[in-house]
Amino acid sequence: MTYRRVRPRLLGGLLSLGVVAGLGLAVAPGAHADDGHTPGSSTDYAFPAGTRPLHDVTWTTTPTVDPGWTADVFWSHQFDLDDGRTGSIGLRSNGGDPRWMLFSVRNATQAVPGAGSHCESFGGEGTGEHCAATVDWTTGHTYAFTVSAVGDGWFEGKVTDQQTRRTIVLGRIRTTAHAVSTQNMVDRTEYVEWNDPRSTCYDQPGSGVRFGLPSGDGGRVHAGVSGTGLGPACDPQSRVARVAGGSVQRNGIGNSVRGEVGKGKACLGVHGTVADGVVAALVPCLPRADRGWVHGSDGTLRLPSNYCLGDGRTGVRIRDCKGAKDSGRVTDPAKLWTYDPARGELRNRQTGRCLAADGSGLASRRCSADPSDRGWTLPTLDGRTPRTPQAGALSASAVSLDPTGLLARTGVDGRVLATALASVGLVAAGSTVVLLVRRRRRDAR
């Protein structure tokens, strides 16, 4: 099958957050960095010739491989309205924050949330409105997303879990449009860590999704697949297959999902900030980016932002992966590990030593049958064993939307951030802190 290159469209807006008083957290407003290397894929649709703009459109999304709680992957249905505005609706694994579903329209100026959802304006290169609700979506469930015109330029976005029959109205967004266009309809997988210039093909988790064919006007008209595409990076790790009733998109092929490397009740991680040369340690198991590992198809164990587990004369440490420029593939055997799932054994390919628990720390030593050398568990290829979020993590009253994963990667709890902002009068007490991300367009290739 021949694929075309895809040009990403709207993911969201950018709400620039400058230096936050008392927290030392800074994001340079308007700063642009080179995109990281991440996978991605798309399915394009066409309605029968002569189909008029639609009163409503319904799409379906069925997650088949969960990329992991700390992964940042967005499965979206993207569309145009008949006044030229663009929009999207879909579901998101949110980089360690509560997962959510999003309805967004660019260049809109007014929005009203549904019950339990939240609406915000976004800015940056273009403006608009989005509405989101936290939903701990389930692998294997099919979610039907509907965008419908409800009069006077208003469009409603909602989602129904077809297994539980639960429906959530994400919100209503006002435009000057009257209907949904039949043109430029695309289903897309986007890895949001494209915004980290250090991201590589091998630190991105595996994922899978099945998209159903769009239908309009209450199911009276149906689209067909008109084309498929792959992102501008990581092509060997992405596939789109046309199947009866839609398409299946797989990305990060050969990599595990992102999850914990476990040893009993403890997990592999670091004390403090992830950086080159930091000593690896056994730490509490928490759904955080510095506990979220991908077992890359090149044999590496990777944290986000291109950090690898390495072994050498100075012990077991976090190392800059320093792989191939375009893909990130590593050939340095000091950063490559062979895993024996039957024994739960991790053996370094350069030293030949095994990763072992040494009290609350880690060591590498000659492999043996000692229990301290064995019993390691790794994230899997099929996504069946990513960590379950902690109880209460999805409380709608304590949600921080963090699409960029910035808070998770810096170790800042969104609720703590909101409290700090309120204490200095920057937001009202109890506010939700929202960071949005701008998706730069790429030239078609």
Closest alpha carbon to 248 in 221, 215, 225: 225
d(CA 134, CA 289): 19
Q: What is the pLDDT of residue 382?
A: 86
Whether residue 26 has pLDDT greater than 70: no
Structure tokens at 195: 């915004």
DSSP per-residue string spanning 295-364:
E-TTS-EEETTTEEEE-STT-SEEEE----TTT-----GGG-EEEETTTTEEEETTT-PEEEEETTEEEE
pLDDT, position 96: 82
pLDDT in tens, 268-299: 999 999 999 999 999 999 988 899 999 999 99
Least confident residue range of 158-167, 219-228, 293-302, 421-430: 421-430
DSSP run (H or E) holding 157 = strand 154-161
Q: Tell me, what's the pLDDT at 385?
A: 54
Confidence of residue 372 (pLDDT cuts 50, 70, 90): confident
The 10s digit of each residue's pLDDT in 88-118 is 999 999 888 889 999 999 999 899 999 999 9
Cβ-contact 47, 166 below 8 angstroms: no
How remote is the C-alpha of 44 from its chain's centroid?
21
Of 3 and 315, more confident: 315
pLDDT at res. 2:
37
What share of the chain in percent tops pLDDT 90? 71
pTM strictly above 0.85? no
Q: Return the higher-pLDDT residue of 34 and 342.
A: 342
Residue 387 pLDDT more than 60?
no
Domains and CATH numbers, the chain: 4-251 (2.60.120.1270), 262-377 (2.80.10.50)
How high is the mean pLDDT of the chain? 83
SS3 16: coil
Q: Could you give the CA distance from residue 59 to residue 57 in angstroms, rounded to a whole number?
A: 7
